[in-house]
Amino acid sequence: MKGARLLHAMRIWRQLLVQYCAVAMTYRVQSAIWMLGGLMPIAIMLIWVELAAKGPISGNGTSYDRHDFAIYFMAMYLVRQATVMWSVLILDRGIRRGELAPLLLRPMPPIWAHMAEHLGEIVIRLPILLGVFVLGLVLTDTLGQLTVANTALFALSLVGAWLIFFFIHYCVGLLAFWMEGALSLEPLIWYFSVILGGGAIPIDLFPAVIRDILTWLPFAAMLDFPGQILLAKIGGAALLLGFAKQIGWVIALSLLRQKIWRAGLKRFSAVGA
């Protein structure tokens, strides 16, 4: 019985992905514009590479030379681009204007459709993202520094980062059940992730006390941790702890989402619901 349910769920997922890849294809121009807007990590990379031109920059017992900065911020570029989320917008509109209603009528968790919508977009944009990523590494003469193992682990951490980003956005989006301005909270997630997650400054370069706090927050698990893996600055127990933090945040946030969702549904009352 469980096996049949799992197979059914897999068939639904396959069809959802097919459908949302097709939708993403129709919005390819919009995707291209979004990708142009996501070049900020590359701009920050250029600043740090220039700053490190005279010698490595040290902090907390580690140092970053210009090549390190190049790899780190190309990793930031890829993570940010692969984790672009618009679920706050979808939920805000869905809850306040009632567009959630058709999804609630289907015998399928609505979150599946929202997840598939984002994944469909990634499938379409991933080849271009990877192209830019590899080109960036080639131009900064750092491609040769990557190992197969680190690249594979980086890809794995990208999955964790995506899930954390998704659930944070989803939880914020669900606040639309209670408030009218959930959408206005979306930029905060971005600011927090850039400032506190290592999107502008590698976490290692913060003062030690602050760094120790930041490494436990979800923002570092989303951005800095994948960057550290690609840089090969992390290994052994620290690597396992990093993945454990990612998994912990995914579980905590998905449980939080479930709680908010259940409480919110009782309040679902949009005039156009």
User: Which residue's CB is nearer to another protein, number 109 or number 235?
Assistant: 109
Within residues 53-112, the interface with another protein by CB under 8 A covers 98-99, 101-102, 104-108
Q: Does 11 bind another protein (CB under 8 A)?
A: yes
Nearer to another protein, 26 or 236 (CB): 26
123 binds another protein (CB under 8 A): no
Q: Which stretch binds another protein (CB under 8 A): 127-135, 209-217, 223-231, 260-268?
A: 260-268
34 part of the interface to another protein, by CB under 8 A: no
Q: Applying CB under 8 A, does 22 fall inside the site for another protein?
A: yes
Token match 């750092």: residue? 142
- Residue with the two structure tokens 């954390």: 164
| 128 lies in the binding site for another protein (CB under 8 A) | no
Distance of CA 142 to the CA centre of its chain: 24
Asked whether position 3 contacts another protein by CB under 8 A, the answer is: no
Residue 8 binds another protein, judged by CB under 8 A: yes
Report the residue number, 105 or 209, with the smaller CB distance to another protein: 105
**Binding of another protein at residue 143 (CB under 8 A)?**
no
By CB under 8 A, tell whether 15 contacts another protein.
Answer: yes
Please give the radius of gyration of the chain, using alpha carbons only, rounded to the nearest integer. Answer: 20
**Which stretches of the chain are DSSP H helices?**
2-26, 28-37, 40-51, 66-82, 87-97, 101-104, 110-139, 148-174, 186-196, 208-214, 218-222, 224-231, 236-267
What lies within 8 Å, CB to CB, of 188 at 6+ separation is none
Q: Does 268 bind another protein (CB under 8 A)?
A: yes
CA-to-CA distance for 171 and 260, rounded, in angstroms? 7
23 binds another protein (CB under 8 A): yes
What tokens were used for 169? Answer: 């956005």
Residue 262 is a binding residue for another protein (CB under 8 A): no
Residue 105 is classified by DSSP as: T
Q: Is 53 helix (H, G, I), strand (E, B) or coil?
A: helix
Nearest to another protein of 16, 220 (CB atom): 16
